[in-house]
Structure 1
Amino acid sequence: MDNTLIQIALGLGFAFAAILVAYAAWTAGRQMMERYRDRVLDATSAQLSDLFIFMDGAKLQQISIVTTIVLPLIAYFVTGNPLVVVGVAAICLFGPTITHKNLKKRRRKKLIHQLPDSLDSLVGALRSGMSVTQSLGLMAEQLPKPSSQEFALVVRKLRMGVGIEEVLTELEERADSQEYTMFTTSMRIAREVGGNLTESLERLADTMRKKLAMEDKIQSLTSQGKLQGLIVGSLPLFLMWVLTEMEPEAMAPMFHTWLGYGVLLVIFLLELIGFVLIRKIVLIDV
């Protein structure tokens, strides 16, 4: 009878402890999810709106949760390697931030390459007798995206009564490039000091075309170094794959033991350092 009471008491104690652990885990998980939503998802949703990509934060959160749960499970059933599972989960968690940075970089590059033609359109409209607001409105209608989106927003704010100084500052911050800084500076100088705005913009467009041509030439000259870095960085991974196919038993400890995981981590860090160094070598600012 006493043994039975002791067993029941121990069982109740373990059950209570399990409930406490589950509750603590659920509370910690909820707090982590809230912080993740506030710091990553909501920030990413707000940043995407700056790129004229409007997505609800709740929808983005649902997509992130589903991918973070489903993809690591698929990776586990396919590979059975916990290291791969952790890597896939990390990619899913930080995927929104990485995606935003890539989209912003691509959009910024398009804005810069479209700016000389945009300035030519502005110069033509000003010489035809249009005002600055009318010329910007014509640009918003005729230019391709994303330049049309930016100048359409500028025109809407000017028509709402926002000062041109504030509008130009916001345009400069959204574009985040030296080219747009030069454009807004030219507009400010012409407005405050005076002078021929069309000639200034025309010279600026010609300077930007020469700058972009120089950047394209540098990119073509450094493409060989980038390709060499990619090949050299891929060689260890290719060699690892070949050895795994040739001697799976000898390579098995690397993918199924903690010592092997440590070796893979060192390989990843060395690859990352090499990638950063090669990128700094071939990156030339004009």
Structure 2
Amino acid sequence: MIFSALLMTFIAVLMAFYLIYVPIRASIMKTSNEAAGRVSRELEDIFIFVPANYVYSLKFGLMGLFGLLGFLFTYTSKPPFPFVMAGVLGLLGYFGPELVVVILRQRRRKKFSEQLVDGLAMMANGIRAGFSLQQAIEMLKDEMEAPISQEFDLVLREYKLGVELDEALWRCARRTKDADMELAVSAIAVTRKLGGNLAEIFERIVDMVRDRKLLAGKADALTAQGRLQALVVGLLPYVLGFFVFKINPDMMRLMWSTWTGMICLVLVVVLDVVGYVWVKKIANIKY
């Protein structure tokens, strides 16, 4: 009986949402299409090619699926908690593709940064052996793995289509957003414009980038405790809440069956996120 009433209420809310949605549908469609297009372009930057219309369908599909699951898992709770959970999980599903893109992009940039020293050293050896800069890039593209091989392959493709080599390298630096890559491209552009020993410049860049990586490793080691504290601050409230629920479920049930409890839950989540970001900022050393 309770489930039927909640289900009918959920359907009524969906119908009300539809009636509100129809008048502003054009604006919502435009915003959603722009968001889907942005996600699709960001995926292209990491060499994952997904059409924008697929991303658009995926976002709304995940929103509906997560919202329905949130409602079904909490329908026995006192209203409006099931609808709040449906809304929260629905938003999580809608913005899920963006979160996945951020994670994939960070992983790709990290791997590119790790490969960059070896790639620049390989190019320096090639230039010292008599290769041109283009031939050295081709050697790097053939010998190394993704993502650095993909990025420099795109540099060569753009160069063959008529883009200046320096400009193609700058596009690669902007696409990867790697400070060491920007430094290397800047040195290459200046040397090609003003003249100089390109192989020697490459060797100096490799030494400089290697020193920066060593400094970054030391900074990561020194701030490891701070990052662990941020993780503990972020997870501890939920772990404690889980164990309290196992020990005394009636007490914890008040947190989502009363307005006071739901307000407390929202405050816990907000303050927890603020604490996590704060500690993370403190432990993040700029170098």
Shared fold per TM-score greater than 0.5: yes
Helix, strand or coil at the partner of 2:223: helix
TM-score (norm 2): 0.86
Give me the identity figure in percent: 28
Contact 1:118 1:139 in 2 (8 A): yes
Q: Please give the alpha-carbon distance, in whole angstroms, between the structure 1 residues aligned to 2:89 and 2:271.
A: 20
Q: Quick one: distance in 1 between partners of 2:33 and 2:230?
A: 38
For residues 240 and 158 of structure 2, what CA distance do their matches in structure 1 show? 58
Aligned in 2, Cα 1:191/1:150: closer, same or farther, shift over 3 Å? Answer: same
Q: Which has the larger radius of gyration?
A: 1
Q: Does the aligned pair in 2 maintain the 1:255–1:261 contact within 8 Å?
A: yes
Structure 2 match to 1:74: 69
Q: Which residue of 2 aligns with 1:268?
A: 269
How many residues align? The count is 267
What is the aligned partner in structure 2 of residue 186 from structure 1?
187
| 1:75 to 1:247, Cα distance in 2 relative to 1, 3 A | same
CA distance in 1, matches of 2:91, 2:17: 23
Compared with structure 1, are the counterparts of its residues 133 and 273 closer, same or farther at alpha carbon in structure 2 (3 Å cutoff)?
same
Q: Deviations over 1:40-92 (max 9, x none)?
A: 11111012111111001111222222211122212221233333322211111
Deviations 1:107-128 (A, max 9, x none): 1111111111111111111122
1:25 Cα deviation after fit: 2.9
> d(CA) in 2 for partners of 1:285 and 1:35?
38
Distance in 2, matches of 1:214 and 1:277, equals 23
Structure 1 window deviating more from structure 2 (158-167 vs 233-242): it is: 233-242
Deviation at 1:26, TM superposition (A): 4.5
8 Å Cα contact 2:66-2:92 kept in structure 1: no
Residues 94 and 49 of structure 1: CA distance in aligned 2, closer, same or farther (over 3 Å):
same
Tell me by how many angstroms 1:99 deviates. Answer: 1.6
Partner of 1:137: 138
How far off is 1:221 after superposition? 2.4
Q: Give 1:9-158 correspondences, 5 Å limit.
A: 24-28=19-23, 30-31=25-26, 33-80=28-75, 81-158=82-159
Q: 1:101 to 1:233 in 2, by over 3 A?
A: closer
Read off the aligned partner of 2:184 and give its amino acid letter: F
Conserved? CA contact 1:83–1:261, under 8 Å: no
Q: One-letter code of the match for 1:199? A: E
Q: Work out whether residues 120 and 202 of structure 2, in 8 Å CA contact, stay in contact via their aligned partners in 1.
A: yes
Q: Structure 1 CA distance, aligned partners of 2:100 and 2:236?
A: 27
Q: CA RMSD in A?
A: 2.0
SS in 2 for 1:54: coil
Write the mapping of 1:1-12 to structure 2, written as runs, cut at 5 A: none
